[in-house]
Amino acid sequence: MKPVMLVQATPVILRKITLKTAYFQREIAMKPSSATAQANPNIAFIKYWGNRNNALRLPDNGSISMNLDGLFTRTTVSFQPSLPFDELIINGREIVGRGLERVSYILDLVREKAGIKMNAEVMSENNFPAGAGIASSAAAFAALALASSKAAGLELSEQELSVLARRGSGSASRSIPAGFVEWQMGQNEADSYAFSIAPADHWDLVDCVAIVSSSHKKTGSTEGHAIAGTSPLQKARVADAPRRLDACRDAILKKDFEAFANIIEHDSDMMHSVMMTSIPPLMYWQSTTVEIFHQVRQWRAGGLPVGYTVDAGPNVHVLCLGETAKEVEKRLRELPGVGNVLVAGVGGEAKLV
């Protein structure tokens, strides 16, 4: 080919190439594509309660949790050019309203990052009962972040996935990494993410969840976070968080159960003190909840390694060691007011299936 020809033809060829590339890009962006991901819920040992930025879900304090093995949400996201709007189906039921809005919010973030415009069908299933005292939103938004970003052709790092999941539900940031997990509050949007502090097989801890009530909670955590600052106790709780985080991290790394039980109960009681003194007040405990606290402390004093923690509901998470899990489950089932007991060990990271 003569060089002079090339020079003359360049603008035309370039224009053709540009048009072709744009055409192919549009083609790719319009192709249906789907992915399925699975994530465990988690139980917080040092709680997240209150945001310094509610819209971005930037927390007032860092938190520590463990993933709950055997319990999971599995979510398939498929972007389809023919869909006029996003669709959400949970356990076979179509969801509209606020639930769909929260999912579309995450899909919008993904669409923006990937440069695509297609709507998506989101099909999600939990293998644990709703209202079981296990925050389904953590597993749900972790699975959604992974499935939707993958379906959109993005390859996000664990850190980026944790940030994306956080935008849907703060605690979901902790369901992305494996095992024992810490969510650092961070300075800004990009560095408020969770990471693993120990793998799932580091310590054989078991969560026995005593179900006191399975009715839906009246005030969800999103509304709860928004009023945390109305309690005069929140400032003190937040100021003391670094001490509790250090104590809990240390206890986990050293597998010191006594220290672990003391700090998780202390932290849970502090969060509920804030809840009860918010305006309006939030009282999640029932009489059976308090009865279980007394029992757990008595059992511990009697030599059984157990400790409790409670999320935004009345059900009590009783942490113990694998070797005594059967005994703890049996004792909990014998208590009046306990309807059921779910048992979960330490779970792994969110994964594609």
Which of 265, 267, 311, 329 is in the footprint of ligand PMV by CB under 6 A?
Answer: 311
Q: Is the peptide bond before 41 cis (omega within 30 degrees of 0)?
A: no
Restricted to residues 173-232, the positions that interact with ligand PMV (CB under 6 A) are: 221-222, 225
Among 241, 240, 109, 135, smallest CA distance to 184 is for: 241
CB 48 to ligand PMV: min, Å: 3
Among 223, 228, 209, 235, smallest CA distance to 309 is for: 209
CB 209 to ligand PMV: min, Å: 13
- Strands of the sheet containing 306-309, edge to edge, are 306-309, 316-321, 205-211, 340-344
Between 257 and 284, CB nearer to ligand PMV? 284
Place of tokens 């902790």: 174
Which of 103, 139, 312, 343 is in the footprint of ligand PMV by CB under 6 A?
Answer: 312
Between 67 and 221, CB nearer to ligand PMV? 221
Restricted to residues 79-138, the positions that interact with ligand PMV (CB under 6 A) are: 135, 137
CB 300 to ligand PMV: min, Å: 23
Which of 73, 148, 162, 171 is in the footprint of ligand PMV by CB under 6 A?
Answer: 171
Binding of ligand PMV by 44 (CB under 6 A): yes
Q: Looking at residue 28, what DSSP letter applies?
A: H
Cβ(210)–Cβ(318) under 8 Å?
Answer: yes
Restricted to residues 141-170, the positions that interact with ligand PMV (CB under 6 A) are: 169-170
d(C-alpha 228, C-alpha 49), whole Å: 7
Restricted to residues 222-241, the positions that interact with ligand PMV (CB under 6 A) are: 222, 225
d(C-alpha 44, C-alpha 63), whole Å: 7
d(C-alpha 330, C-alpha 341), whole Å: 9
* Whole-Å CA distances, 12 to 7, 17, 24, 317: 10, 9, 18, 69
Between 122 and 312, CB nearer to ligand PMV? 312
Tell me which amino acid residue 137 is: S
Q: Looking at residue 56, what DSSP letter applies?
A: T
Interacting span for ligand PMV (CB under 6 A) from 43-51, 102-110, 251-259, 293-301: 43-51
Q: Strand 205-211 and strand 42-46: pairing?
A: unpaired
Task: State the number of binding residues for ligand PMV (CB under 6 A).
Answer: 15
Interacting span for ligand PMV (CB under 6 A) from 46-54, 124-132, 151-159, 289-297: 46-54
- Chain centroid to CA 177: 10
Which of 38, 40, 61, 63 is in the footprint of ligand PMV by CB under 6 A?
Answer: 63
Between 61 and 78, CB nearer to ligand PMV? 61
The residue ranges that bind ligand PMV (CB under 6 A) are: 44, 47-49, 63, 135, 137, 169-171, 221-222, 225, 311-312
